[in-house]
Structure 1
């Protein structure tokens, strides 16, 4: 699997992908070249191999209604932006299309039939963080304390 994917440099580029259709996910990892060798994630707590790659869905939930897609995309990226700090600097987000084949131990989608689409640059994550910080209330990334 080639790492020669296009790179998204703006949060609005992610929004554009969301507008194009369903089955869109973001995955934080070392990339498709590593992930698609086995096409399986591993449960961090038990070491059990999972039947697909864990990823965050970018498809807009019906309850979001007509709220801004930019905020939706920012939230989905912001939720796991802590992963490079936990798993290493070579962990970064990439966009993919696939089909949900199961659910993982944290009820996250496990995705099969993965089609890598694009890398998501750190600039996009910085924009997502700013977008979330501008929202009312207290927001925080999804983070399990070991």
Structure 2
């Protein structure tokens, strides 16, 4: 396990998109950080309190059906979908990228990741960049209604 302070920080969507070209089995976790999460290596279902057999995370890998569309836009969409979590989960919650293996699915069909290896933090400016990129697509994609944003 590494210190959270030692993790590099991704500062642009383009940087994260490049990471998806070099690495596979990438996930974004919204939490207080690897030092806390990797101690127990499990998440708890917020509704029932049940412990799950891995860390709840969101996949970052580009799916084949995305075709030759922009990787940067893919990453923006993946971040946009969960950018509300720091407001819901409280102070200190921020996104970080990890790699690992899936052991199952959580109640929202999210992957549960084991053997997690932290790769980097995601700077808050990247989340704003993601929101801007998704907003630019609204005329082509249609409205993406997400509560609390």
TM class by smaller structure: over 0.9
Is 1:55–2:57 an aligned residue pair? yes
Match of 1:116 among 109, 115, 118: 118
Q: Is 1:138 aligned to 2:143, yes or no?
A: yes
Indicate the residue corresponding to 1:126 in structure 2.
128
3-state DSSP of counterpart to 2:16: helix
Aligned equivalent of 2:9:
7
User: What is the alpha-carbon distance in structure 2 between the residues aligned to residue 84 and residue 122 of structure 1?
Assistant: 11
Check if 1:41 corresponds to 2:43: yes
Contact map agreement 1:79 1:140 (CA 8 A) in 2: no
Structure with the higher helix share, 1 or 2: 2
Unaligned runs of 5+ in 1: none
Q: 1:89: which partner in 2?
A: 91
Paired residues, what number? Answer: 143
Q: Distance in 2 between matches of 1:118 and 1:112?
A: 17
TM-score, reference length from structure 2 = 0.92
CA distance in 1, matches of 2:26, 2:37: 17
TM-score by length of structure 1 reads 0.94
Deviation at 1:22, TM superposition (A): 1.1
* 1:139, distance to aligned residue in structure 2 (A): 1.6
1:62 CA drift (Å): 1.3
The 2-side partners of 1:140 and 1:63 are apart by: 23
SS of residue matched to 1:43: coil
What's the Cα RMSD here?
1.3
The runs of at least 4 consecutive aligned structure 1 residues that moved more than 2 Å come to none
